Structure 1
Amino acid sequence: MSFGLARGNMDLLFCKVDWFSVEQHQRSAVDQEVDVYHPDKLLNTSEDALVDYFLEKYRMDVPQIQRDAISVDQREARIDVSQDPLRYVSDRSRPFHVPGTLVEVEIPFSGDEQFFRVQPSTFTLNPPRGEVRGSSLFIHVQGTTLQPAQVKQHIDSTVAEIETNLNHLRSAAEQFNRSIAQQAQSRIAFRKQKLLQDRNLVANLGFPMKQRDGAAATYASPQVRRKITPVQPPASTASFTPEPALPDDHYNAILDIMTNMVRVMECSPSAFAHSDEEAIRTHFLVQLNGHYQGQATGETFNYEGKTDILVKDKGRSIFIAECKFWRGEKGYLETIDQLLGYLTWRDTKAAILVFNRNRNFTDVLAKVKEITERHPNFRKFIRQRSETGWMFRFAHRDDPNREMTVTVMVFDVPNAS
């Protein structure tokens, strides 16, 4: 009996190129594409959107065999038995064909067919044979006196060997996919910084602060009074238009002042027991303007409407804060919508201060974070800033490339006893 794989019409699998070369090629390709990406598109596009693009393009999708969809077919074939040691063949240097049977096994799969050519880091010296056609892998079993049990055993062992190789590749690919987003993000950030430097943008279009003597150190807030001066560098002739941004260190300093003010409210509930949102907003404005001075007036922090605290440059908001009592999901989502409506610059920063009275504080904390991440414009959870505060990234309602950093801080402000 002749029993084995067809000779000459099946390729060896998992042996054309090694995994290390594939991984290095993908990493180099990511860096190269970032480096030649159109500079204005790079600057005008959300960093998260760019990272998602590169991740989707360069992530590795190792095939997954669909065992339940495996099918077989058989047909008559001329079998080369020149290498069968149990047969007498006068000249084994040439093919010697006899009538036989060929069983073709079709194995559907999902994923990138190129991985059937890749040798995993763990491999054998006798890889399986097969042929990829479309979204199926075909293997052959042929012989002159095939028996069902032998054919079944050969199919099972070959499929198992193929799956073992794919599992090795899948493990390596998953590790690569987890790391490629960080690689792309780092490369994008580096090139953006270089492009901005080339266009004479100093210090992330920030606000140079001039120290001023005499600021009180009330509520453990900053020791100096700072002057916020938005700096717009000379406009580039390129299509990217530089826009002002509030630097992260000043953003965090403002949040710290507001947090310290709430701590005072928590420690002295009787003084604020009957304060509404507008009164609390005024309370914050007094303290914030005691530490920051605007470019043209003494009040950098202004208000619009009933609850807004705003910092503006050229009529557009670059920092927005909302003071709200917790009144349930509907009111909270409306607050987020209101903030997104203010977004005009590409890097507006915002804060929502949620005050809780007479409700289970633990339940409110859990609801606020969960509701925030369900908002249709939610893009990314950045980090937890405190036990009761989180930083998020939101997209503009009309332009997904314009984003807002939103810090949500929840505080328990009980009524006076």
Structure 2
Amino acid sequence: MRQHSRPFGTESLRQLLADRLDRALKRINAWNADELLASPEADIIKYLIDEYGAEAPVMHRDQRQRLPSTEHVVPVDDFMGRRDVRQAEITIVVPCEGDMDLMRYRPGSYTSLLSGQSARIVGSEIHVTWRGDTADPAVVLQKINGELDVIERNLGHARSEIASHNELLRQTVPARVSRRKSQLLADRELEAALGIPVRQKDGPPAFSVPVSRRQVMPRRQPGVAEPFRAEWELLDKDYEEAIRVITHSRNALERTPGTIAKLGEEDIRNLLLVSLNSTFMGASGGELFNGDGKTDILIRVEDRNVFIGECKIWDGPQVVGDALTQLLKYHIWRDSKGALLLFIRRGDATNATQKAIQRIEEHPNYKRTLDARPSEGRYDFVIRANDDLEREIHLALLPFVLPIKQGR
């Protein structure tokens, strides 16, 4: 940013913001294909909105300060001839935040600054200087405040244009990213379906099963991403169906407290497996869901786990931390979806659920929280895998409120 520049120059703020949006859309089209396919859409979208969005400048007039006063010499020609007149010079400094570079551009609705006054952008501050020979403080304050009022009015118009730009960016970018990613995936699926090897300079073929994704952070520069390799992944509709079957079974169990109180955790898990296997069947008629140990619920494709469910009895927040540690150990590099089934058999279920959510959000692999659905008894998160910190795992927390038979 140029230092000591005048606010609201001749260049158009509206055109500047339109150019930013255009650059964002061109950036999507120019993004390295392998990197785009390998990155979660949410990360790409956030990067683009942060990079090409705008933070409106805000003045903090309540924090204004005065610089030490100085004298200013002005040459004057009058009936006494040419002479130098010394005038007082008082500068008020107003701190600001936001992108001060945007203050150099003129909004569509604009009011000219007052004549005879001097306003400058200096770093992250606005300096308004008064020069004159009056000794009346009220006059000085009136002129300085008048200039600040005009600046604030122009900033209000600028903030409105910037807010509209940011909203347009939020509406446009996700659809464009999704569309380009879908087009690239369709191209890769077509290439894989041809069954003809891809000519490579060196290394293995670049394409395999064209269904999944792999995350690469947007900060990586185009051209350095590894070739995209599609992977086995549980489709969203199948993942939602698995969660639906589990929650439906949970609701049925919760409605039969007398029966469920007599069952142990392994018995409950086996009931869930029966429900899942009645819905998901392999092509050869074999079971897709298998119990591995006493707590795991798995979907396996070939030799890979694409869905992992971990069952835990609530006994404090540490249980949730232990469950996440286990889940992350089970999740190998192709895994992308899982669920934590939390059996709450004693105490306040609402309080236990809130503490479980807090523990997940405090975990070092936690990335972000998705939509919570308390009415459905479901809470969704995104966490990072252990062996590849750039890979995302979608985790659903499903609390089960199950009584236990006294004396157990």
Name the TM-score class by shorter chain.
Answer: 0.7 to 0.9
Alignment check: 8 A CA contact 1:27 1:180 kept:
yes
Return 328-337 or 121-130, whichever deviates more: 121-130
Q: 1:99 aligns with which of 75, 85, 106?
A: 85
SS at match of 1:303: strand
Work out the CA distance in 2 between the residues paired with 1:311 and 1:185: 30
2:263 is equivalent to residue 275 of structure 1: yes
Summarize the Cα distance change of 1:11–1:268 in structure 2 as closer, same or farther, 3 Å threshold.
closer
Give the Å deviation of 1:317. 1.4
Instruction: Provide the C-alpha distance between the structure 1 equivalents of 2:212 and 2:21, rounded to a whole number of angstroms.
Output: 34
Paired position in structure 2 for 1:241: 229
Work out whether residues 104 and 138 of structure 1, in 8 Å CA contact, stay in contact via their aligned partners in 2: no
Give 1:172 shift: 4.3
Aligned partners of 1:318 and 1:345 also within 8 Å: no
Q: Secondary structure of the residue that 2:341 maps to in structure 1?
A: strand
Which residue pairs with 1:353 in the alignment? Answer: 341
Tell me the secondary structure at the aligned position of residue 401 of structure 1. coil
Q: 1:314–1:181: structure 2 CA closer, same or farther, 3 Å change rule?
A: farther
| CA distances 1:253-310 after superposition (whole Å, capped 9, x unpaired) | 1112112222332233333323222222222222222222235661211122320011
- The RMSD of aligned alpha carbons is 3.4
Q: CA deviation at 1:331?
A: 0.4
- Does 2:101 align with 1:114? yes
Q: Which runs of 5+ in 1 are unaligned?
A: 1-9, 91-95, 203-230
Partner of 2:48: 54
Aligned to 1:77: 72
Please say if 1:290 is aligned against 2:278: yes
Give the residue type in structure 2 aligned to 1:279: D
State the 1:89 CA deviation.
11
The 1:71–1:354 alpha-carbon spacing in structure 2 relative to 1, beyond 3 Å, is: same
Rounded to whole Å, the distance in 2 between the matches of 1:233 and 1:122 is: 52
Q: Aligned to 1:124, what secondary structure does the other structure show?
A: coil
1:220-369 → structure 2 map (5 Å cutoff): 232-233=209-210, 239-295=227-283, 298-345=286-333, 348-369=336-357
1:191 paired to 2:185:
no
Alpha-carbon contact 2:7-2:121 (below 8 Å) kept: no
| Aligned CA distance change for structure 1 residues 133 and 384 (closer, same or farther; 3 Å) | closer
Counterpart residue identity of residue 22, structure 2: S
TM-score, normalised to structure 2's length?
Answer: 0.79
- Measured in 2, the distance between the counterparts of 1:383 and 1:364 equals 19
CA distance in 2, matches of 1:158, 1:319: 63
Distance change >3 Å, CA 375–CA 103, structure 1 → 2: same
Query: Residue 211 of structure 1 aligns with which residue?
Result: none
For 1:215-272, what per-residue CA distance to the aligned partner results, in whole angstroms no more than 9, with x for missing partners?
xxxxxxxxxxxxxxxx924999971111121111111111121122223322333333
Quick one: which amino acid aligns to residue 326 of structure 1?
W
Checking the alignment, whether the CA contact within 8 Å between 2:210 and 2:229 is kept in structure 1 is: no
Match of 1:374 in 2: 362
> Residue 346 of structure 1 contacts residue 403 of structure 1 at CA under 8 Å; is this kept in 2?
no
The percent identity for this pair of structures is 29
In structure 2, the residue matched to 1:383 is: 371
Structure 1-normalised TM-score? 0.77
- Contact 1:392/1:405, CA 8 A, preserved across alignment: yes
Cα distance per residue 1:174-207 (max 9 Å; x no partner): 45445534533332222211111121279xxxxx
Corresponding residue for 1:34? Answer: 28
Paired residues, number: 372
CA distance in 2, matches of 1:101, 1:300: 88
Instruction: Give the structure 2 partner of residue 45 of structure 1.
Output: 39
Give the AA of the match of 2:37.
Answer: L
- 8 Å contact from structure 2 (residues 379, 397) kept in 1: yes
Which of 111, 117, 141 aligns to 1:152? It is 141
* Structure 2 spans left out of the alignment, 5+ residues: 192-207, 214-224
Residue pair 1:391, 1:406 contacting (<8 A) in 2 also: yes
Deviation at 1:77, TM superposition (A): 3.5
Change (3 A) 1:374 1:167: farther
One-letter amino acid of the counterpart of residue 367, structure 1: K
Please give the alpha-carbon distance, in whole angstroms, between the structure 1 residues aligned to 2:170 and 2:334.
22
Who is 1:64 aligned against? 58
Partner residue in 2 for 1:407: 396
- Using the TM superposition, give the Cα deviation of residue 169 of structure 1 relative to its aligned residue in structure 2, in angstroms: 2.6
Q: CA deviation at 1:41?
A: 1.8
The residue number in structure 1 matching 2:127 is: 138
State the distance in 2 between where 1:47 and 1:88 align: 75
SS in structure 1 at match of 2:85? strand
CA distance in 1, matches of 2:110, 2:179: 38
Instruction: Name the structure 1 match of 2:8.
Output: 14
Change (3 A) 1:104 1:145: closer
State the Cα distance separating 1:20 from its structure 2 match.
2.9
CA distance change for structure 1 residues 147 and 88 in 2, over 3 Å: closer, same or farther? Answer: farther
Match of 1:213 in 2: none
Q: Which amino acid aligns with 1:407?
A: A
* Alpha-carbon distance between aligned partners in 2 of 1:321 and 1:262, rounded to the nearest angstrom: 14
